[in-house]
């Protein structure tokens, strides 16, 4: 194969109480287009934040490609079509890594399974909560050794409020408390379990309780007060809202039949410059959408 186009979904990690464990894939995609050449490495990109992407071997897509293809030096043309904004809490780095891994598998014709790609992706990212749904689609539950995918419910829709500016994930992680109380740990364990059950059964009636978090959001809200205020405002109106990943964007899980009303509610409380998007789950994850053989 000489050329391939891969479509990669945005993801939301944590989902409130499921810190570093729960994630979902959105029908909001980047594309990675890779073609073998004889002229060395060439990188181009379009879309939000494209100007900040490295144009050398440190580019995440290229690093992932190299880990699969093993060419030294790599001689390919890489074009990234970006829709997922960087640093907003939607797994943009996971999308880059997975895009490179899936493209590399197709170009090299390797027999790597999705599970093997996931292992490689976790080595890049350090955590499975973004990369697992990016690879597998739907909703994923991950530990440091296992991942299970569940089918997204038709009765629930994700809604996202996209922050106008970025927040570095390492800064958001550095803000986390070093210790938590037993009562807060117990509260999060119960709610994470309840959230998995609610998503499995399509139970939108328990989403408010199931998305409450005491582990990571309180300290992160000190770092991003607009995000904290928005989560509280949405929850005060009965919407199951939480930080999208490490923030600063905010997401909510809403009843599909009341989704249009949820969009109106969100637009009425978001700060100036924020974008409200009603999304759908991506059930497939990253996939090759076009390829050209020799």
Q: What is the CATH number of the domain that holds 84?
A: 3.30.230.10
Are both 12 and 143 inside the same structural domain? yes
| The predicted structure's pLDDT at residue 178 | 85
Are both 133 and 9 inside the same structural domain? yes
List b or e across 50-79, with b for residues whose CB sees 16 or more CB atoms inside 10 angstroms: eeebeeeeebbbbbbbbbbbeeeebebbbb
Across the chain, what does the average pLDDT equal? Answer: 95
| The predicted structure's pLDDT at residue 267 | 98
Mean pLDDT calculated for residue range 210-232: 96
| The predicted structure's pLDDT at residue 203 | 97
Mean pLDDT calculated for residue range 182-188: 96
Mean pLDDT calculated for residue range 152-180: 90
What 3 state SS string does the chain have?
CCEEEEEEEEEEECCCCCCCCEEEEEEEEEEEEEEECCCCCEEEEECCCHHHCCCCCCCHHHHHHHHHHCCCCCCEEEEEECCCCCCCCCCHHHHHHHHHHHHHHHHHCCCCCHHHHHHHHHHHHCCHHHHHHHHHCCEEEECCCCEEEECCCCCEEEEEEECCCCCCHHHHHHCCCCCCCHHHHHHHHHHHHHHHHHHHHCCHHHHHHHCCCCCCHHHHHHHCHHHHHHHHHHHHCCCEEEECCCCCCEEEEEEHHHHHHHHHHHHHHCCCCCEEEECCECCCCCEEEEEECC
Are both 59 and 121 inside the same structural domain? yes
| The predicted structure's pLDDT at residue 1 | 75
Are both 115 and 203 inside the same structural domain? no
Does residue 177 carry a pLDDT above 90? Answer: no
Per-residue pLDDT tens for 3-39?
A: 999 999 999 999 999 999 999 999 999 999 999 998 8
Are both 116 and 208 inside the same structural domain? no
| The predicted structure's pLDDT at residue 125 | 81
Per-residue pLDDT tens for 35-91?
A: 999 889 999 999 999 999 999 999 999 999 999 988 677 899 999 999 999 999 999
CA geometry: angle at 97 spanning 219 and 103, to 5°? Answer: 160
Does residue 294 carry a pLDDT above 90? Answer: no
Q: What is the CATH number of the domain that holds 160?
A: 3.30.70.890
Q: Please answer whether residues 74 and 62 qualify as being in contact, where contact means their C-beta atoms are separated by less than 8 angstroms.
A: yes
| The predicted structure's pLDDT at residue 70 | 83
Are both 13 and 75 inside the same structural domain? yes
Task: Output the CA–CA distances (angstroms, integers) from residue 127 to 67, 110, 181, 213, in the order listed.
Answer: 18, 24, 23, 19
Over pLDDT 70: what percentage of the chain?
99
Q: What is the CA radius of gyration of the chain?
A: 19
Cis peptide before 287 (omega within 30 of 0): no
Are both 120 and 223 inside the same structural domain? no
Are both 50 and 19 inside the same structural domain? yes
Distance CA(275)–CA(272), nearest Å, equals: 9
Question: Would you tell me how many other CB atoms lie within 10 Å of the CB of residue 40?
Answer: 10
| The predicted structure's pLDDT at residue 74 | 86
Domain that holds residue 121: 3-149+282-292
Are both 41 and 160 inside the same structural domain? no
Mean pLDDT calculated for residue range 168-176: 80
Q: Predicted confidence band at 209 (pLDDT cuts at 50, 70, 90)?
A: very high
Task: Output the CA–CA distances (angstroms, integers) from residue 215 to 15, 90, 178, 221, 293, in the order listed.
Answer: 12, 20, 10, 12, 49
Are both 192 and 286 inside the same structural domain? no
- Maximum separation of any 2 CA atoms in the chain, in Å: 60
Per-residue pLDDT tens for 90-140?
A: 999 999 999 999 999 999 999 899 999 999 999 888 889 999 999 999 999
Which pair of tokens denotes residue 205?
A: 């009636």
| The predicted structure's pLDDT at residue 168 | 81
| The predicted structure's pLDDT at residue 11 | 98
Are both 134 and 244 inside the same structural domain? no
Count the domains in the chain.
Answer: 2
Are both 17 and 143 inside the same structural domain? yes
């Amino acid at each position: 194969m000489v050329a391939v186009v891969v479509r990669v979904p945005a993801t939301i990690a944590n989902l409130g109480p499921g810190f570093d464990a729960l994630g979902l894939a959105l029908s909001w995609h980047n594309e990675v287009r890779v073609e073998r050449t004889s002229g060395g490495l060439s990188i181009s990109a379009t879309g939000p934040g494209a100007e900040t992407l490295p144009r050398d071997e440190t580019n995440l897509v290229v690093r992932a490609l190299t880990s699969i293809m093993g060419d030294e030096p790599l001689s390919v043309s890489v074009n990234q079509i970006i829709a997922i904004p960087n640093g907003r809490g939607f797994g943009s780095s996971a999308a880059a890594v997975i895009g490179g891994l899936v493209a590399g598998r197709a170009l090299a014709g390797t027999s790597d399974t999705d599970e093997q790609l996931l292992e490689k992706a976790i080595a890049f990212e350090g955590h499975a909560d973004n990369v697992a749904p990016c690879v597998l689609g739907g909703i994923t539950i991950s530990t440091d050794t296992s991942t299970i995918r569940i089918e997204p419910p038709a009765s629930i829709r994700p809604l996202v409020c996209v922050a106008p500016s970025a927040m570095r994930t390492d800064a958001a992680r550095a803000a986390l408390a070093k210790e938590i109380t037993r009562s807060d740990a117990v509260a999060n364990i119960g709610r994470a379990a309840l959230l998995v059950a609610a998503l499995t059964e399509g139970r939108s009636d328990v989403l408010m309780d199931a998305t409450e978090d005491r582990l990571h959001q309180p300290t992160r809200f000190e770092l991003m007060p607009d995000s904290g205020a928005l989560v509280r405002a949405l929850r005060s109106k009965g919407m199951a809202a939480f930080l999208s990943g490490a923030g600063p964007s905010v997401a909510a899980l809403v009843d599909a039949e009341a989704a249009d009303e949820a969009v109106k509610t969100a637009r009425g409380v978001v700060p100036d410059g924020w974008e409200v998007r009603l999304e759908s789950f991506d059930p497939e994850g990253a996939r090759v959408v076009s390829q050209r053989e020799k």
